[in-house]
Amino acid sequence: MKFEHKMRGNVSFGVNPIGCKQEVNNQIDFVKEQGAYEGPKKVLIIGASSSYGLATRISLAFGANADTIGVSFEKGPKSEKNLGTAGWYNNIYFKQAAEAEGLIAKNFVQDAFSHETKQDVIKYIKEEFGGKVDLVVYSLASSVRTDPDTGERFNSVIKSIDQTVVGPNVNIQKQEFFEHVLEPATEEEIADTVKVMGGEDWQLWMEALKEAGVLEEDVLTVNYSYLGSDLNRPYYGDGTLGQAKADCEVKADNINELLTDINGKATIVVATAVTTKASSVIPFFPVYCMGLYRIMADNGTHETPIMHQDRIYRDMLYGNNAEYDDKGRLRPDSWELDPEVQKEAETLIHTINEDNFTSDKTGYSIFMKEYLNLAGFDVDGYNEAEGEETTLDDLLAL
């Protein structure tokens, strides 16, 4: 079959399932090359099918030998024109690889925000997963959430607050560099974004798991945040997403209180900027990444999600090199925020324009390759013959 990469703006639709398989295998190989580490054994990952959640799952399974449950919201194939989403295939190929090594890998492809999903997962933990989990990772990114009690639907928006932000952006589909004007969010939009991307659902998960008695003593739960720097503060840290991330910190305190009697801990992990489905639609962010990646790649510190997450779990959370800030947040983003890196990135970003943005002076090619890899395209080691021989029936039978 011919797999086609399709896009609308910076949103990718096409998928190459065999490329996704190769990408999952490449990430597994990366983790195995680093060797084994002591980590958690029974892990629940909410938002497990792509980027940070998938990388977390791969590191923990293939580095620490963990059994995993992954919750995600993805679509399977329907026709040759509609092959579904990359995360659907990532789930399946991850499961196949993990089971081949004797690990449990259970996928729940359903709405994480609903009460029903939480109860389904709890039932599974009790009946088939040994009764308890010792790590819960919350790595969900979504633009919509249906409130599980009222049925009301909320949309998140990526906007600034109280200021119009003007700056360079890239339309990946059209390969166009343009000036983006971002208007500030309304009060309602701010509140709705916090409702979707804030910590409420994370807390609801932890309350449900605690009440059901499926959390191990000393359980750890983490939530991925982003703080960024002066270069993106106007549209991220000081914007609607920044408000949602601040809410996660409030909810982390609530969860810490909830878990006191079992000595559990909730930790905010401030992760680095990476190319993901979620981050490529943040206005201006692709240009920030192009500047940042060039500098960090030249310094040898640029990381993909698997490199970053493997370092977080292996070296930091379950290793001896954890760096926490004065608010108790884990700070693997210190490489990105290194003042020298930021200074150089800022200088470079100011020189990026419509004539040179795709040149090697910027991190454009790094960003684009990572972007295509998300949907299984341009993947190192891709088996073209296998791709061509794959039929819709093969995919429907997965």
Shortest reach from residue 375's CB to ligand NAI, in Å? 11
Tokens at 384, concatenated: 């073209």
Tokens at 29, concatenated: 């190989």
Residues β-bridged to residue 179: 168
Contact 182, 160 (CB under 8 A): yes
**124 in active site:** no
Q: Write down the catalytic residue from 224, 236, 318, 371.
A: 236
Neighbours of 249 (CB within 10 A): 17
Q: Quick one: 62 or 113, whose CB is closer to ligand NAI?
A: 113
Contact 118, 204 (CB under 8 A): yes
Q: Quick one: 279 or 362, whose CB is closer to ligand NAI?
A: 279
The alpha carbon of residue 336 and the mean position of all alpha carbons in its chain are separated, in whole angstroms, by 17
Shortest reach from residue 55's CB to ligand NAI, in Å? 8
Q: Quick one: 22 or 107, whose CB is closer to ligand NAI?
A: 107
What is the signed CA dihedral for 325, 326, 328, 331, rounded to 10 degrees? -10
Shortest reach from residue 197's CB to ligand NAI, in Å? 7
Q: Which of 222, 223, 214 is nearest to 262 (CA)?
A: 214
Q: Quick one: 216 or 223, whose CB is closer to ligand NAI?
A: 223
Contact 64, 340 (CB under 8 A): no
Tokens at 200, concatenated: 């409420």
Q: Quick one: 273 or 307, whose CB is closer to ligand NAI?
A: 273
Shortest reach from residue 263's CB to ligand NAI, in Å? 26
Residues 6 or more apart from 216 whose CB is under 8 A from it?
42, 132, 133, 134, 262
Contact residues for ligand NAI, defined by CB under 6 A? 47-53, 71-74, 87, 111-113, 139-142, 224-226, 271, 273-274, 276-279
Q: Which of 271, 251, 265 is nearest to 323 (CA)?
A: 271
- The catalytic residue positions are 236
